[in-house]
Amino acid sequence: MTATAAHDSGTAAMAALIGRVREVKLLESTASVLGWDQETMMPEGGVEWRSAQLAHLARLSHQTFTSTQTGDLIAAAMDAVAGLPEDHPDRVDVREIDRDWRKATRLPEALVSELAELSSKAMHEWAAARQANDFPRFQPWLERTVELNRQKAECLGWPAGGEPWDALADSYEPGLAAVEMQAVFEPLRKRLQGLLDRLRGAPRRPSNGFNEHALALADQERFVKFVARRIGFDFSRGRLDRSTHPFCGGSHCNDVRMTTRYLETCVLDALGSTMHEAGHGMYEQGLSAERIGLPMGEAAGLSVHESQSRLWENQVGRSRAFWTWAQGQLPAFFGEACDRFSLQDLVDGANVVEPGFIRVEADEGTYNMHVMIRFELERAMIKGDLKVADLPGVWNGLYKDFLGLTVPDDRRGCLQDVHWSMGAIGYFPTYTLGTLLAAQLFEKARTDLPGLEEGFTRGDFSPLLGWLRKNVHAEGRRHRLDGLCRKVTGKPLSADPLMRHLEGKLLPLYGLA
């Protein structure tokens, strides 16, 4: 074959593979929008048919992607890109498509379809059970979810010396293992516990008044949409709606669907949730439009995704610089309703540390304790060491052990999160990994962008978003978590930046520095 013919053959192989993968992504993104609709607008009576729709789409996308023809296209494309640098976009796309294909071919079509149908129904039952504080209603659905995820883990397999949870976690953070996560959690818990012990005996107690101040929900909604737009979320390519549990979904970078929730007595709940989801949404909007449906047009994994949401929620949204600007915006949305609160009151409210029952309402000091608890529980359920029927009691015991709390009911206990009803077992640790990366990225951004936080006081967040676009969003799936962290910050992922962030802010706030 001549060089020209070989080049043409390689180009054709890449084009055919891209066409096949995008066909799969069309099906998957359609399912994503249907899932968003189920959580926001679908009438209750639509659950059965919606579950069948999602199962059908899952089956079709699985059939298309796992066919031998796809495997042949991957092999041909790998030959075509073999001479390119390892970090070349085309080579990254083929490498990651091959990885996804190998995983997908291990899963039986019937299992994929059943998981999709089950998750749609289970999410509906979870929402009803949560509202009614009725764990027995949700129990059989969670039992079936755990059983199917055990089957999924067996099909996927895990490295020698590992455990079934590892196979599930790999779908959210490639290569993540339970023993490695435990090695992160154990020392982090000790460091966080030491900080919390110091805060409990502090000479100053930040004011919590702003977190208990009633504000009209319609005004809150206008305010949080304004903030989301100001920090950089493009509403011409996305939207914000309401749901029981805040999330970010959609189909591609030009159609991003976010949701939040509102509490009349705590605008900071809606604001924090919205800035969190906007972080996800801006990451999605920052991905390559030219590579929609391809790995270089997708996020680097759930931990990196969570780093974007946690950074905007915490490093930005809880900062004094942010509230210096935001205080001046409040009258336009709430009239005189917030006039009695000083800047210090607002900063206090955003940063007060108070162990609570609800993860999505947790302060920065206690948040990761919630994640550790869920990691222990889902790991035990998948290993078979914890029966689903015993989940409420064990959950409550861990909350007493980790946070010193007596959980009053299952609605504020094991029924609070949507993830297990979705079948997303192995997801929770990405919140902590993302929190660690967020702190490390922000430290680097402050070094690279002199005057960054001073800009926040004027409502200028564009330098930070631009820095993230260049260093994180544009990288697609080129790097894994630690590889991206090393490339951007020059150091491996560490808990040190997070602890510097927390101690540097909370100790002065509590009169300890």
User: What is the rounded distance in angstroms from the CA atom of residue 163 to the CA atom of residue 442?
Assistant: 34
Q: What is the DSSP letter of 312?
A: I
Rounded Cα gap, residues 298 and 283, in angstroms: 9
Which entry of 96, 117, 277, 298 is annotated as an active-site residue?
277
Pairing of strands 255-260, 238-242: parallel
> What is the rounded CA–CA span in Å between residue 485 and residue 479?
9
* CA angle, 200 then 202 then 206, to 5°: 90
* Whole-Å CA distances, 176 to 76, 248, 351, 427: 30, 23, 31, 10
Give the burial string for 58-90 (b: 16+ CB within 10 Å, else e): bbbbbebbbeeebeebbebbbebbeeeeeeebb
**238: which DSSP letter?**
E
Return the amino acid letter for 435: T
Q: Which whole-number Å values give the CA distances from 28 to 31, 59, 101, 293, 496, in the listed order?
A: 5, 10, 15, 10, 38
Interior angle at CA 389, CA 385 and CA 391, nearest 5? 65
Report CA 233 to chain centroid distance, whole Å: 17
Which residues partner with 255 through β-bridges? 252
Which two three-digit tokens encode residue 333?
A: 């949305």
Please state, in angstroms and rounded to a whole number, the distance separating the CA atoms of residues 211 and 346.
Answer: 9
Burial class (CB in 10 A: 0-12, 13-18, 19+), 454: exposed
Q: Is 114 a catalytic residue?
A: no
Q: Is 251 helix (H, G, I), strand (E, B) or coil?
A: strand
- Per the listing, tokens 């007493």 go with 400
- Alpha-carbon distance of 232 to 460, in angstroms, equals 10
73, 110, 180, 246, 429 from 370: Cα distances, Å: 44, 34, 18, 17, 10
User: How far apart are alpha carbons 159 and 172 in whole angstroms?
Assistant: 16
Active site residues: 277
